[in-house]
């Protein structure tokens, strides 16, 4: 009898077919996987090329289910990666700061600079504390006026855009059609971070350029050079700001114009390590990390949350009736359709997980997407339900939450390397959505402009997030 392991070795080892060549996979009904063959005992097989396919990006969860059920640690030789897909295993790895202590070296530092992403242990904790204190508690509350002001300002600008004939804001017969990504979600988190960091308003356009260029330049892609140039431009700009802030601090203000706290750059300028003030390069790296952490996550959370809620009218009505439910909607959105798929790790030692031997220094992908849909943790995980009883929706905890049948989602990870933008993303998505809800009368998805799936229904979020969201709402 042919064993599963020998078949997989043939597949991943490229012994039976040239698996380096791309392959087209048919688009399947949501929740159903392409049949890639079976071992003699009936175990479904995985063709690693599926991970590069449009089918996987729109319909990933049946494939993650196969991995969780049959290959909880899958050695993907085609991509030289070990995929870890069960909630419990991923959680254990995240908390093991010695065995899985850092993301792969060089994956972020080239563009973002010397951040704590690639550090571990004491050095990581010291660096994280530098800015962590500015992103939680009272410091977080002080950001709310800026968020509310910027959200209102951006929505007010839709009137001008419609009058000027914008292709993204269209008024007709008392109904406004707006593309929420281009007109709000794409720039909103970047503008907020720009303001609370302490950048002047006139630098917002530059800030958007820095963010887009640095994020697209991560990972050694073709845009890496552009990312490096943007980061140098950012550091040059920050240098003059730092010199000025060391002498004269600047502040955040409430809606009445009263100062409520120093901005983050000013606070970083006042921070010391071992008796020495942070260098301009260190401050720039912290800024780059905060920008990255609070950008794409927030953008995806806003678009996915509105896309999913508007397809669940009863849940949207409940949120509109009770602002306190936006927190539930945010957490369920990130569980169901997070824009962040997981975190890579290198293992420090030779290990064995679920019978798979993993040599030290291997690339391991902790698949948060899969953990969030693990049936061992979340009942009926493909269903979007803000009222589900098994999801923790309270304060984001680095330790995670797992009590009384409720668990936190894994969109931000857990443990020492929990995403530094978690609290920023939560606050911006919730506060921004509250303002949108107040301003948009009878919002609904524009069916004509919204992409459809193979069954004619709205396209699924799949991996990452919807790339744009066309909404209609009444003007009167």
Task: Kindly state the DSSP code that residue 28 receives in the 8-state scheme.
Answer: P
Q: What is the pLDDT of residue 105?
A: 52
Q: Find, among 451, 328, 327, the residue nearest to 384 by Cα.
A: 328
Q: What is the pLDDT of residue 474?
A: 98
For β-strands 406-407 and 272-273, DSSP reports them as: unpaired
- The two tokens of residue 117 are 């992403």
User: What are the phi and psi torsion angles at 231 (to 5°)?
Assistant: -65, -40
Sign of CA dihedral 134, 131, 225, 222: negative
SS3 268: helix
Measured distance CA(379)–CA(92) in Å, rounded: 21
Q: What is the DSSP string of 321-364?
A: H-GGGHHHHHHHHHHHH-S--EEEEE-SS-EEETTEEE-TT-EE
Q: What is the pLDDT of residue 352?
A: 96
Q: Find, among 363, 343, 268, 410, the residue nearest to 78 by Cα.
A: 363
Task: Kindly state the DSSP code that residue 459 receives in the 8-state scheme.
Answer: P
Measured distance CA(408)–CA(136) in Å, rounded: 18
The upper half-sphere exposure of residue 367, i.e. CA atoms within 13 Å in the direction of its Cβ, equals: 24
Measured distance CA(79)–CA(46) in Å, rounded: 13
Measured distance CA(476)–CA(458) in Å, rounded: 27
Q: What is the pLDDT of residue 18?
A: 66
User: What are the phi and psi torsion angles at 270 (to 5°)?
Assistant: -95, 0
For β-strands 169-172 and 175-179, DSSP reports them as: antiparallel
Measured distance CA(394)–CA(200) in Å, rounded: 34
Residue 346 and residue 62 in contact, taking contact as beta carbons nearer than 8 Å: no
- The two tokens of residue 104 are 């792969």
Instruction: Please state the length of the chain.
Output: 476
Helices (H), 71-116: 87-95, 109-112
Q: Rounded to whole angstroms, what are the CA distances from 6 to 3, 40, 276?
A: 5, 11, 58
In DSSP terms, which residues pair with 180 in a beta bridge? none
Give first-to-last CA distance, the chain, whole Å.
Answer: 71
> If you count DSSP H runs as helices and E runs as strands, how many of each does the chain have, helices first?
18, 16
99 CB contacts (<8 Å, ≥6 apart)? Answer: 93, 347, 348, 349, 351
Per-residue pLDDT of the chain (476 residues; tens, 9 = 90+): 444 444 444 444 444 566 667 899 999 999 999 999 999 999 999 999 999 999 999 999 999 999 999 999 999 999 999 999 999 999 999 998 888 876 655 444 556 555 555 555 555 555 555 555 556 566 677 778 888 999 999 999 999 999 999 999 999 999 999 999 999 998 898 888 888 788 888 887 787 787 777 777 665 567 778 878 887 888 888 888 888 888 889 888 877 888 888 888 888 888 877 788 888 877 877 777 766 655 667 888 999 999 999 999 999 999 999 999 999 999 999 999 987 778 888 899 999 999 999 999 999 999 999 999 999 999 999 999 999 999 999 988 888 999 999 999 999 888 877 877 788 889 999 999 999 999 999 999 999 999 999 999 999 998 877 888 999 999 98
At which residue do the structure tokens 């508690």 appear?
A: 137
SS3 5: helix
Neighbour-count burial of 35, counting CB atoms closer than 10 A to its CB (0-12 exposed, 13-18 middle, 19+ buried): exposed
- The two tokens of residue 386 are 């803000």
SS3 171: strand
Sign of CA dihedral 22, 372, 387, 334: negative
Residue 304 and residue 465 in contact, taking contact as beta carbons nearer than 8 Å: yes
* CATH class for the domain made up of 1-95+342-381: alpha beta
CB atoms inside a 10 Å sphere around CB 222: 8
Q: What is the pLDDT of residue 424?
A: 81
Measured distance CA(6)–CA(449) in Å, rounded: 48
Residue 151 and residue 436 in contact, taking contact as beta carbons nearer than 8 Å: yes
Q: Find, among 373, 367, 343, 339, the residue nearest to 464 by Cα.
A: 339
């Amino acid at each position: 009898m042919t064993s599963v392991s020998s078949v997989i070795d043939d597949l991943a080892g490229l012994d039976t077919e040239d698996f380096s060549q791309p392959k087209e996979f048919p688009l399947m009904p949501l929740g159903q996987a392409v049949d890639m063959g079976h071992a003699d005992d009936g175990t479904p097989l995985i063709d690693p090329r599926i991970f590069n396919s449009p089918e996987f990006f729109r319909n990933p969860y049946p494939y993650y289910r196969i991995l969780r059920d049959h290959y909880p640690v899958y050695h993907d030789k085609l991509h030289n990666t070990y995929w870890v897909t069960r909630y419990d295993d991923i959680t254990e790895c995240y908390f093991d700061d010695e065995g899985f202590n850092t993301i792969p070296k060089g994956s972020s530092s080239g563009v973002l600079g010397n951040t704590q992403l690639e550090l571990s242990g004491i050095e990581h904790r010291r660096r994280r504390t530098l800015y962590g204190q500015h992103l939680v508690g009272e410091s977080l509350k002080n950001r709310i006026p800026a968020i509310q002001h910027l959200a209102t300002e951006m929505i007010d600008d839709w009137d001008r855009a419609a009058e000027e004939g914008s292709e993204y804001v269209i008024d007709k017969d008392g109904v406004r059609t707006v593309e929420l990504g281009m007109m709000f979600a794409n720039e909103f988190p970047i503008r907020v971070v720009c303001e609370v960091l302490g950048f002047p308003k006139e630098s917002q356009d530059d800030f958007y350029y820095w963010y887009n260029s640095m994020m697209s330049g991560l990972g050694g892609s073709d845009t890496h050079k552009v990312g490096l140039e943007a980061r140098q431009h950012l550091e040059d700009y920050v240098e003059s700001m730092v010199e000025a802030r060391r002498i004269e601090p600047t502040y955040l203000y409430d809606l009445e114009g009263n100062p409520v706290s120093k901005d983050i750059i000013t606070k970083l300028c006042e921070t010391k390590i071992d008796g020495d003030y942070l260098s301009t390069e260190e401050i720039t790296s912290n800024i780059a990390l905060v920008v990255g952490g609070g950008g794409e996550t927030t953008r995806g959370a806003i678009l996915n949350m509105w896309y999913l809620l508007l397809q669940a009218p009863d849940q949207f009505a409940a949120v509109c009736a009770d602002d306190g439910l936006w927190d539930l909607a945010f957490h369920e959105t990130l569980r169901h359709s997070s824009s962040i798929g997981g975190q890579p790790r290198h293992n420090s030692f030779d290990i064995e997980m679920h019978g798979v031997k993993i040599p030290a220094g291997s690339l391991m992908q902790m698949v948060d997407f899969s953990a969030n849909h693990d049936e061992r943790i979340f009942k009926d995980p493909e269903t979007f339900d803000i009222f589900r009883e098994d999801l923790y929706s309270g304060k984001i905890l680095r330790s995670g939450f797992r009590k009384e049948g409720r668990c936190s989602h894994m969109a931000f990870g857990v443990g020492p390397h929990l995403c530094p933008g978690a609290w920023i993303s939560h606050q911006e998505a919730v506060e921004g959505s509250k303002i949108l809800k107040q301003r948009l009368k009878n919002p609904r998805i524009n069916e004509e402009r919204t992409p459809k799936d193979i069954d004619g229904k709205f396209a699924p979020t799949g991996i990452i997030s919807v790339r744009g969201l066309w909404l209609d709402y009444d003007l009167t």
